[in-house]
Structure 1
């Protein structure tokens, strides 16, 4: 940050200059709001409101901190206000109906930094993966904010206390409660996760999962699942836990009898994912069906989060695939 970003008297700054100083932080603020809210769309609303509030209150920036920190303060309070209006209660039962995926191609827009910088920690896999997002959404809003600001962004307790209007002791107490809540909702074997699509073993497992899915071979799919696998499909309610429950649900839903499928590999939340398309005779093309985001542990699939076709445009996926020559 240069001296121009630390000066007082921002009430005299015109909009183009203001935008030049603030827009560079849009993506990281969006990711921050996404962690707070769990919804890509709600995060977009929060960022828009953040920039509107920042412009209207630009005279409050007195140069005591960086513009980036000032914007994070506004964004955090904006998220807390949205949570109070839209979702006064946190998630329960291990499900987050409002959960939406975050495209890896947009995460790649985050500013690069040294490994020791707070933002490098913020973009690390464990704070953007879906299991983390689900666990965070089970925390009450203020402890959630404390956890993200302290453990993800690396803010000192005194700065978090100032932002929230609390004492340092209250912030430290909230952080302890939030960490305990995260331990209760995060998978126990988290340290054993085998990485994203860059891991060779994971790539092979995803390939086998894709082939078996396109073939609608439930037995082959079942062999790829760990015994305690979890499966959900937000916003549709219902969390299946255990291989038998997941496979039974697939059979009950008529998956083996589904029409012809094609698959496109993708990645969301730094996890491997597969987009499936279903052949529609009337359209003469394969149209979007679902996106399966996978978590892999020890060479087996331990979680599948399935998103509906409405997420395809955001993920940069084709709206249709042509006939594959077998029609």
Structure 2
């Protein structure tokens, strides 16, 4: 257990830096925004440095930083987003690249349940559901069900009673059941099985060909489609296909793709040919949720997400343009 934080600033920064990625993921779960999470982690480290003398060694530095980070998230939510999301729509939602999630400490081989929980609590549908909870029940749910904190420690962090924390947890779990997909136990999630790879390949090929009927054949009847921060959620195959047709997808032009993974889900970065640039430039990133051999959700993000996801800023011509 760390008991002394009376360190020079570089040494303190090195100690705190060990926990940066997991704190960032924690703040991301709380806030749903990659960029807000970055700002909040920075605020966490500033608060920790200023309050380092208050650390009494009754917990680990890691737990102490989680307390500060959670309160920093709650402070941000109180000022920037005092009301939770509604109607299944989260305009501030941003994707999280798997290459950064891979920086998290590996879960031991003897903890398969923990590995599954870690994956399921970073997928975008989970993030969407969490953002529909009020801030304090959201914090209770994440601290109790994701991090596994005892109710007493959560109560101390929030300045509340254990009974209040248990009550908030029950309300939060009920809210999650209301907003999570019913077939969640069947998600392919981060599993790279052959059927998933084949479905993503067919989706990619149909999209590059701007073949709407072929794309429609890959969608489940109740597929859900959204493009944060653009308002609007389309639910059902007919509604999704109609939106593509109305948006002129079939006349979009030449496309190229780069496969990736985001939030432990398969994703495809699309690039559009720009004759004036003599290159394919970023267009959108589609993140797919797949269950039962069909695409059940497509969350599309704008080209400003490409740098964060580590995707190229352009693709060269290949001579067929």
Q: Same fold (TM over 0.5)?
A: yes
Q: CA deviation at 1:115?
A: 5.3
**Given the alignment, which residue of 60, 72, 77 partners 2:71?**
77
Q: CA deviation at 1:111?
A: 1.1
* CA spacing shift, 1:87–1:117, aligned 2, 3 Å: farther
* CA spacing shift, 1:146–1:45, aligned 2, 3 Å: same
| Contact 1:122–1:152 (8 Å) recurs in 2 | no
Determine the C-alpha separation between the residues in 1 that align with 2:62 and 2:118.
19
Q: CA deviation at 1:114?
A: 2.0
Describe the SS at the equivalent of 1:124.
Answer: helix
Moved more, 15-24 or 175-184: 15-24
Determine the C-alpha separation between the residues in 2 that align with 1:91 and 1:118.
32
1:12-52 deviation line (CA, Å, top 9, x unaligned): 32112211211100000000000000000000010000000
Q: CA deviation at 1:196?
A: 2.7
TM-score (normalizing by structure 1): 0.96
**Given the alignment, which residue of 262, 274, 279 partners 2:273?**
279
1:114 aligns with 2:117: no
Determine the C-alpha separation between the residues in 1 that align with 2:254 and 2:296.
26
| Contact 1:121–1:153 (8 Å) recurs in 2 | no
Which residue does 1:171 correspond to in 2? 165
**Given the alignment, which residue of 194, 203, 218 partners 1:200?**
194
Determine the C-alpha separation between the residues in 2 that align with 1:118 and 1:266.
24
* CA spacing shift, 1:134–1:115, aligned 2, 3 Å: farther
Q: CA deviation at 1:62?
A: 0.7
Q: Which runs of 5+ in 2 are unaligned?
A: none
Which residue does 2:287 correspond to in 1? 293
Determine the C-alpha separation between the residues in 2 that align with 1:118 and 1:53.
35
Determine the C-alpha separation between the residues in 2 that align with 1:228 and 1:182.
19
Q: CA deviation at 1:72?
A: 0.1
* CA spacing shift, 1:119–1:81, aligned 2, 3 Å: farther
1:148 aligns with 2:145: no
Q: CA deviation at 1:6?
A: 2.1
* CA spacing shift, 1:48–1:119, aligned 2, 3 Å: farther
* CA spacing shift, 1:69–1:91, aligned 2, 3 Å: same
Determine the C-alpha separation between the residues in 2 that align with 1:280 and 1:119.
47
| Contact 1:27–1:110 (8 Å) recurs in 2 | yes
Aligned Cα root-mean-square deviation (Å): 1.5
Q: CA deviation at 1:122?
A: 8.7
Determine the C-alpha separation between the residues in 1 that align with 2:310 and 2:233.
27
1:35 aligns with 2:32: no
How many residues align structurally?
321
Describe the SS at the equivalent of 1:247.
Answer: helix
1:137 aligns with 2:134: no
**Given the alignment, which residue of 148, 152, 157 partners 2:151?**
157
1:247 aligns with 2:241: yes
Instruction: Please give the residue correspondences for 1:192-231 in structure 2 after superposition, counting only pairs within 5 Å.
Output: 192-196=186-190, 198-231=192-225
TM-score (normalizing by structure 2): 0.97
Large movers: runs of 4+ above 4 Å: 115-123
